[in-house]
Amino acid sequence: MTAEHPELTIDGLIAELKTLGQISEADPPVVTRVVFGEADLRARAYVKGLCEAAGLKVREDAVGNTFARWEGADSTLAPIGTGSHIDAIPNAGLYDGCVGVLGGLEAIRVLKTLGFNPRRPIELVIFTAEEPTRFGIGCLGSRMMAAVLTPAQALALRDKEGRRLEKWRSQAGFAGPLDSVAVPRGRFHQFVELHIEQGPFLEQEGIDVGLVTHIAAPASQRIVIEGEGGHAGGKLMPGRKDALAAAAELILALESVAKSTGAIDTVGTVGICEVFPGAVNSVPSRVLITTDVRDIDRARRDGVLASLTAASEEVSKRRGVKITTELINADPPTTCDPAILAALERAAIAAGKTYKKMVARAYHDSSFVSCIAPVAMLFIPCRGGVSHRPDEYASPEWIGGGVHVLARTLAELAS
């Protein structure tokens, strides 16, 4: 990995990433690992085994957040945290989240191999359910650690079939009161997350690593449109209350209001559209869509939500359909900590890596950790900016560069 230490290769890490990628609900190369599903549990077991083999002490909280600790010379000091997630949305790839978990573990192993003795403990964290797939809300584990999601709100969470979080977590073997998940400010001294960029800029510009200064503000909603169903032949066009046609207008309205801010940082997506009864010869009576709106500017993001509400009201009136909107989350943007960013910059320079400061457009567990500790993120390139797809790819060289910078950063922060 370095000129001074040619014995440090990341071949083992790349093999581990590939092995983790084989643990999937779908056939490889597709990675699907929804939280608390069978593949998620096997993946957790695999990663915990690697942590234990590296001599780390592993502990889990009541919602499955996993902490693998390398004790420092002074165990009374708050640890430096690193890590990410290993759950994966349907039809995902190998690297989202996993690079931060296995790359964080690799950074720790490298420091151990080099004989480094941290003064502060270093803790690798594997957060539960960064992805919103099962329960509709992202960053479940870190959100609960930061008490942004209360135990009562967590207890109310259900999956699409109405099964509760409570059932899923106990089935997965996680017990204990949910109010034990929240941790106080100071639980971590500092936290740094390695992640693929999930955008094209580092690769396009030929830059080794990105130092993340801000994480965009995400918001999501669940919108139910209720119209009037009926026979696709018998129900004539005048007077129809087609819930899907109304939903189509809302989808296009979101696209249009997101574009109309004129800011490249505003994005709006409808990623779920469920049609009832879902028959070719039946007028849709009920449709569920979800919206995902993000921006680095919270006011502008909220402006998009307000314009969408106005569009919903207009469509509802004109088409005679009922539209109900439930806000799932509207999180603030995150500002990363200048001291950690300075350490990352020193590490990048020392490692001989090119770097630039940039914003994160995806959401990350670091956003919620920022409520309890100073955070920053380190990005590595990914091919074509592709993510949330099976062809997501980061080269061993890019991953090695990220691990190298992370290892140097952890060493400085833990000294």
Q: Using CB under 6 A, list all residues that contact ligand GLV.
A: 131, 138, 362-363
Q: Which is nearer to ligand GLV, 96 or 249 (CB)?
A: 96
Q: Which does 289 bind (CB under 5 to 8 A by kind): ligand GLV, Mn ion, none?
A: none
Task: Return the residue nearest ligand GLV (CB atom).
Answer: 362
Binding track over 64-103 against Mn ion, x by CB under 5 A: --------------------------------xx------
Q: Which is nearer to ligand GLV, 198 or 213 (CB)?
A: 198
Q: How far is the CB of 92 from Mn ion (least distance, A)?
A: 7
- # of chain residues touching Mn ion (CB under 5 A): 2
Q: Which does 225 bind (CB under 5 to 8 A by kind): ligand GLV, Mn ion, none?
A: none
Burial of 254 (0-12, 13-18, 19+ CB in 10 A): buried
Q: How far is the CB of 100 from ligand GLV (least distance, A)?
A: 12
Residue position matching structure tokens 């009864």: 277
Q: How far is the CB of 392 from Mn ion (least distance, A)?
A: 9
Residue 47: name the closest of 62, 65, 72 by CA.
65
Residue 187: name the closest of 138, 123, 105 by CA.
123
Strand ranges (DSSP E) for 118-216? Answer: 122-127, 190-196, 209-215
Q: Which is nearer to ligand GLV, 87 or 203 (CB)?
A: 87
Is residue 132 part of the contact set for Mn ion (CB under 5 A)? Answer: no
C-alpha span between 256 and 225 (Å, rounded): 19
200 upstream amide cis, omega within 30 of 0: no
Q: Which is nearer to Mn ion, 87 or 295 (CB)?
A: 87
Is residue 197 part of the contact set for Mn ion (CB under 5 A)? Answer: no
* Structural contact between residues 154 and 43, judged by C-beta atoms closer than 8 angstroms: no
86, 147, 267, 363, 376 from 368: Cα distances, Å: 17, 9, 21, 10, 12
Is residue 208 part of the contact set for Mn ion (CB under 5 A)? Answer: no
* Structural contact between residues 210 and 378, judged by C-beta atoms closer than 8 angstroms: yes
Q: How far is the CB of 162 from ligand GLV (least distance, A)?
A: 24
Q: Which does 208 bind (CB under 5 to 8 A by kind): Mn ion, ligand GLV, none?
A: none
| 81: phi then psi, degrees, rounded to nearest 5 | -105, 150
Q: Which does 374 bind (CB under 5 to 8 A by kind): Mn ion, ligand GLV, none?
A: none
Q: How far is the CB of 332 from ligand GLV (least distance, A)?
A: 15
* Phi and psi based region of residue 55 (left: phi greater than 0; alpha: psi -120 to 50; beta: remaining): left
Residue position matching structure tokens 């590490």: 347
Q: How far is the CB of 104 from ligand GLV (least distance, A)?
A: 17
C-alpha span between 74 and 289 (Å, rounded): 51
Q: How far is the CB of 414 from ligand GLV (least distance, A)?
A: 28
Q: How far is the CB of 167 from Mn ion (least distance, A)?
A: 24
Q: Which is nearer to ligand GLV, 95 or 191 (CB)?
A: 95
- ∠ CA 256-259-262, rounded to 5°: 140
Q: Which does 363 bind (CB under 5 to 8 A by kind): ligand GLV, Mn ion, none?
A: ligand GLV
**Which stretches of the chain bind Mn ion, using CB under 5 A?**
96-97
